[in-house]
């Protein structure tokens, strides 16, 4: 199934943007404000599973490879440059390489990998129109700036591509110095083109009454029962995680020795529900979609 078809039946994609952002923020906050390896590992597994469900096996394997590289590099760098810890494995010249530093690097690498994986998954769900709607809460000007940013990047790339095609049709200079001059000229053309287009857009906005009092906005996002259920569940999970973290269940000590306190089963259960909820929501959505197709 292609991505467009999956997004059509994805319940996560059909949720209200505020509910999606709330769940995404909760997942990131749970990872960032904890250093327990079991929470990081569960988060990474949940993110990879959702990437597999949403983007396919190829994207999941690529993300897994990148995650392993990040974990290895973080553990290596932290082990070589951080010399804290009581368990010395070996010496490099006079510098100690400790077990605690390597374990902390493994935890930190898993944290970074899970954050990157969740960001990749939710970047597919949070399209530009949803982000514009979310930022419109802070004001129409903020929403306008966000929409212009999303539009400017592909637009500038397209204009630069057209400028380079024009140069190639006229004949490119030989040598790296002449090619560098052509690139600078193309960038200069793109800047002038963009400034002129910005002035035209500003005049067009003024002529259409932008900034007048009483102006309204249009959107296609409304609250339904499923959105309220997800938002309420997210708030309950947030309160539970906050209480657990406030009591210190989300932390362990790595220095000077690893003090691996027994994890709280309630916290682990809440994390499992949280990290696997996107897959479960989409799974039930897919089952309902197939049942409705069979009834036709």
Task: Report the alpha-carbon distance of residue 18 to residue 134 in Å, rounded.
Answer: 7
Instruction: Please determine, for residue 7, whether its predicted confidence score (pLDDT) is greater than 80.
Output: no
Are residues 249 and 112 both part of a single domain?
yes
Look at the chain and report how many structural domains it folds into.
Answer: 2
Burial class (CB in 10 A: 0-12, 13-18, 19+), 5: exposed
pLDDT at residue 1 greater than cutoff 60: no
If you average pLDDT over residues 121-130, what whole number do you get? Answer: 81
**Is the residue at 22 inside a domain?**
yes
| Rg, Å, the chain Cα set | 25
Q: Residue 261 domain-assigned?
A: yes
294 or 4: whose pLDDT is higher? 294
- Based on the domain organization, do 14 and 122 belong to the same domain? yes
The enclosing H or E element of 92 equals strand 88-92
The verdict on 7 and 102 lying in the same domain is yes
Looking at the fold, whether 23 and 112 belong to one and the same domain comes out as: yes
198 is in which domain, residue-wise? 148-206
Mean of pLDDT values over 206-215 = 71
How do residues 254-279 score in pLDDT, each as one tens digit?
777 777 777 788 888 888 888 998 88
The answer to whether residues 115 and 34 belong to one domain is yes
- Asked whether residue 23 falls in the same domain as residue 153, the answer is no
Looking at the structure, do residues 26 and 78 belong to the same domain, yes or no?
yes
- Whole-angstrom Cα distance, residue 164 to residue 87? 58
pLDDT tens digits, one per residue of 71-121? 999 988 888 887 777 777 777 777 788 888 888 889 899 999 999 998 888
User: Is the domain of 14 the same as that of 128?
Assistant: yes
- Predicted local confidence at residue 8, as pLDDT: 62
**Full-model pTM:** 0.73
Examine the domain organization and report whether 80 and 109 are in the same domain.
yes
Task: Give the burial string for 115-133 (b: 16+ CB within 10 Å, else e).
Answer: bbbbebbbebbbeeebbbb
Residue 81 lies in a domain: yes
- Rounded Cα distance, 218 and 46, in Å: 35
User: Is 117 a domain residue?
Assistant: yes
């Amino acid at each position: 199934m292609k991505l467009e078809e999956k997004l059509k039946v994805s319940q996560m994609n059909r949720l209200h943007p505020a509910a999606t952002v709330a769940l995404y923020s909760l997942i990131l906050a749970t990872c960032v404000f904890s250093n327990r390896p079991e929470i990081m590992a569960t988060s990474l597994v949940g993110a990879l599973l959702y990437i597999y469900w949403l983007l396919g096996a190829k994207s999941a394997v690529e993300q897994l490879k990148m995650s392993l590289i990040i974990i290895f590099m973080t553990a290596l760098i932290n082990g070589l440059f951080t010399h804290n810890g009581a368990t010395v494995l070996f010496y490099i010249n006079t510098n100690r390489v400790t077990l605690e530093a390597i374990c902390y690097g493994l935890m930190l690498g898993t944290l970074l990998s899970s954050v990157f994986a969740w960001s990749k998954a939710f970047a597919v769900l949070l399209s530009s129109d949803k982000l514009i709607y979310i930022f419109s809460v802070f004001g129409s000007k903020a929403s306008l700036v966000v929409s212009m940013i999303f539009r400017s990047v592909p637009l500038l790339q397209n204009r630069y591509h057209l400028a380079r095609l024009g140069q190639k049709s006229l004949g490119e200079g030989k040598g790296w110095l002449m090619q560098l001059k052509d690139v600078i000229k193309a960038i200069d053309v793109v800047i002038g083109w963009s400034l002129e287009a910005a002035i035209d857009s500003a005049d067009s906005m003024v002529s259409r009454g932008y900034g007048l009092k009483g102006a309204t906005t249009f959107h296609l996002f409304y609250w339904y029962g499923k959105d309220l259920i997800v938002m309420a569940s997210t708030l309950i999970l947030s309160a539970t995680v906050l209480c657990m973290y406030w009591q210190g269940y989300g932390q362990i000590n790595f220095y000077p020795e690893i003090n691996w306190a027994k994890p709280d089963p309630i916290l682990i259960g809440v994390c499992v529900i949280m990290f696997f909820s996107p897959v479960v929501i989409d799974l039930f959505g897919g089952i309902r979609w197939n049942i409705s197709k069979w009834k036709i």
